[in-house]
């Protein structure tokens, strides 16, 4: 049983202003795995005040001082990787191979990327008689989700630190354990008091108070569209910067070529990764109508190969994160059936042999229309919809016919043809034939949010441009 009952404020582990706790449920067992304290508005005030005090000194540190801290964090993170991976498996149900693999690798990758970017980031640039400086924005509220906990914490905290900001992190209430260990990593690495602060608690209390706080200069939120909207509303009266990475309903376009079946299978397996709980997941699989039967066969076989069960075992897919998430996935599956989509794999209920835990079946619908609910709304579970297209222009039209614009995927044997399709997708990030890059800016357009994270572009979210204009040289 884990108990994390203190907050990290001003370089110390402190008791909450008002004692209040919440149970944390293991989604694989439906049993209580631990308790956390829930922060109040009074705790928010303490954390923001600490960050505000620390900003004057931390914002004036040198590149070398910040590099030293980031490298110390990297060393401490490496020591705790196994523990963090185990925590992720316990808190949100990622299989051990995923929690201790890609989940951990994403966190470490963002730490390494921040170090490399900081080495050469241009904090000053001379243009004529004007010196342009990139100054830290101030106190940052960082609100992170439960689905990729280390990815989203590292991709916010490290750039904020590297650019001279101070911060208050609010990790997800559903997945609080890995964040607690990450805070211990920063403490052990020697982060100066007040520079990094962390409060556990609910978004309705902590997130709302941080968003509205007059001494918070930036809010970076990764979460649902509904939460992003509420945070933007709360932040508006103080005209603070709000960076949002929200939902997605991304298209995965498979081109008509010899690699077709393998690409369909890969897209299906990829959709089931992390139990489908990925904002950038390729949840709309677009295939040529003439090859729909082949697509169904390949997707059905791939879905059947996804093993589901105890995430501590050798499985490909664990549970979804909570009972409410399980119920939401089931609701969408029922909607798809009612709307007349062809159910070719999975379906309602738990997989056979699993009577407990929030386990869903890897589910595939085919012959889906793009106006169906399951093609329009983000399900955030292991549910793939297959939509047929007439030609490439039609595929691009379907892909762009979405309220979201976070990610996209194009797979095919002809690299030039894939790139041509990718250029026409109205989305912030496109992976071509499995391409991946920690330095590539990540973020969305339309209702998927604004701003960019990852790599150098992630640094720009945390700085303000200032013009220092000197007299022009005498003629």
Q: Are residues 291 and 170 in the same domain?
A: no
Contact 211, 203 (CB under 8 A): no
> Same domain, yes or no, for 228 and 261?
no
**325 and 399 fall within a common domain:** yes
The string of pLDDT tens digits covering residues 6-19 is 999 999 999 999 99
- Asked if 317 and 357 sit in the same domain, the reply is yes
Residues with Cβ within 8 Å of 318's Cβ and at least 6 positions away in sequence, in order, are 27, 28, 89, 93, 94, 95, 275, 308, 309, 310, 311, 359
CATH code where residue 429 lies: 3.40.309.10
Domain membership of residue 126 (yes or no) is yes
Q: Does 31 map to a domain? A: yes
461 is catalytic: no
Residue 55 lies in a domain: yes
The answer on 390 and 316 residing in a single domain is yes
Instruction: Provide the residue-wise pLDDT of the chain in tens; the chain has 475 residues.
Output: 999 999 999 999 999 999 999 999 999 999 999 999 999 999 999 999 999 999 999 999 999 999 999 999 999 999 999 999 999 999 999 999 999 999 999 999 999 999 999 999 999 999 999 999 999 999 999 999 999 999 999 999 999 999 999 999 999 999 999 999 999 999 999 999 999 999 999 999 999 999 999 999 999 999 999 999 999 999 999 999 999 999 999 999 999 999 999 999 999 999 999 999 999 999 999 999 999 999 999 999 999 999 999 999 999 999 999 999 999 999 999 999 999 999 999 999 999 999 999 999 999 999 999 999 999 999 999 999 999 999 999 999 999 999 999 999 999 999 999 999 999 999 999 999 999 999 999 999 999 999 999 999 999 999 999 999 999 988 7
Same domain? 437 vs 452: no
**Residue 474: inside a domain, yes or no?**
no
Residue 469 backbone class (left: φ over 0; alpha: ψ -120 to 50; beta: rest): beta
401 in the same domain as 316: yes
Rounded distance between C-alpha atoms, residue 112 and residue 73, angstroms = 10
Whether 349 maps to a domain, the answer reads yes
- Nearest by Cα to 380 from 249, 286, 268, 244: 249
268 lies in the same domain as 342: yes
Task: Please report whether residue 473 resides in a domain.
Answer: no
Q: In this structure, is residue 216 part of a structural domain? A: yes
Q: Can you give the CATH number for the domain in which 119 is found?
A: 3.40.605.10
Domain that residue 23 falls in: 2-246+448-467
In this structure, the answer to whether residues 83 and 100 fall within a common structural domain is: yes
Residue 458 lies in a domain: yes
Question: Structural domain tally of the chain?
Answer: 2
- Kindly name the residue from 245, 378, 453, 456 that is annotated as catalytic: 245
Q: Is 397 a catalytic residue?
A: no
388 and 455 housed in the same domain? no
Whether 234 and 279 map to the same domain: the answer is no
> Which tokens in the block code for residue 389?
């297209």
90, 91, 140, 279: the catalytic one is 279
Q: pLDDT for 401-445, tens place per residue?
A: 999 999 999 999 999 999 999 999 999 999 999 999 999 999 999
C-alpha 422/C-alpha 412 separation (Å) is: 11
Same domain, 406 and 461: no
- From residue 265, alpha-carbon distances to 142, 254, 261, 289 in Å are 36, 11, 6, 17
């Amino acid at each position: 049983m884990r108990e994390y009952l203190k907050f990290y404020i001003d370089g110390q582990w402190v008791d909450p202003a008002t004692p209040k706790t919440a149970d944390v449920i293991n989604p694989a067992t439906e049993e209580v795995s631990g308790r956390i304290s829930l922060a109040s508005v009074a705790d928010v005030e303490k954390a923001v005040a600490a960050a505000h005090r620390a900003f004057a000194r931390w914002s004036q540190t040198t590149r070398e001082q910040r590099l030293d801290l980031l490298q110390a964090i990297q060393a401490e993170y490496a020591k705790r990787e196994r523990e963090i991976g185990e925590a992720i498996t316990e808190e949100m149900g990622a299989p051990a191979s995923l929690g201790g693999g890609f989940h951990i690798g994403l966190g470490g990758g963002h730490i390494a990327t921040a170090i490399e970017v900081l080495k050469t980031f241009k904090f000053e640039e001379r243009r004529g008689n004007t010196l342009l400086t990139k100054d830290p924005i101030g106190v940052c509220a960082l609100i992170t989700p439960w689905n990729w906990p280390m990815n989203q914490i590292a991709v916010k905290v490290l750039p904020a630190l590297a650019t001279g900001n101070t911060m208050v992190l609010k990790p997800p209430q559903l997945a609080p354990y890995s964040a607690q260990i990450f805070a211990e990593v920063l403490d052990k690495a020697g982060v100066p008091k007040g520079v990094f602060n962390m409060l556990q608690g609910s978004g309705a209390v902590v997130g709302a108070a941080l968003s509205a706080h007059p001494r918070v200069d930036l809010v970076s939120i990764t979460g649902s569209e509904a939460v992003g909207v509420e945070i933007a509303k709360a932040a508006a009266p103080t005209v603070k910067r709000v960076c949002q990475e929200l939902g997605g309903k991304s298209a995965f376009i498979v081109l008509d070529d010899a690699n077709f079946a393998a690409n369909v299978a890969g897209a299906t397996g990829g959709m089931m990764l992390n139990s489908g709980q990925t904002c950038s997941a390729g949840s709309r699989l677009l295939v040529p109508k003439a090859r729909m039967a082949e697509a169904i066969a390949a997707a059905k076989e791939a879905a059947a190969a996804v093993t589901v069960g105890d995430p501590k075992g050798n499985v490909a897919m664990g549970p979804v994160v909570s009972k409410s998430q399980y119920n939401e996935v089931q609701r969408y599956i029922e909607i798809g059936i009612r709307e007349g989509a062809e159910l070719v794999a999975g379906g309602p209920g738990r997989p056979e042999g699993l009577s407990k835990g929030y386990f869903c079946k890897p589910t595939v619908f085919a012959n889906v229309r793009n106006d169906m609910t399951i093609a329009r709304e983000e399900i955030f579970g292991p549910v793939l919809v297959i939509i047929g297209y007439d030609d490439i222009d039609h595929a691009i039209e379907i892909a762009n016919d979405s309220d979201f614009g976070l990610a996209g995927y194009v797979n095919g044997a002809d690299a030039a043809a894939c790139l041509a399709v990718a250029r026409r997708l109205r989305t912030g990030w496109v992976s071509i034939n499995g391409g991946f890059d920690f330095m590539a800016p990540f973020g969305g357009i339309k209702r998927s949010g604004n701003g960019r994270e990852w790599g150098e572009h992630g640094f720009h979210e945390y700085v303000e441009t200032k013009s220092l204009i000197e007299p022009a040289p005498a003629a």
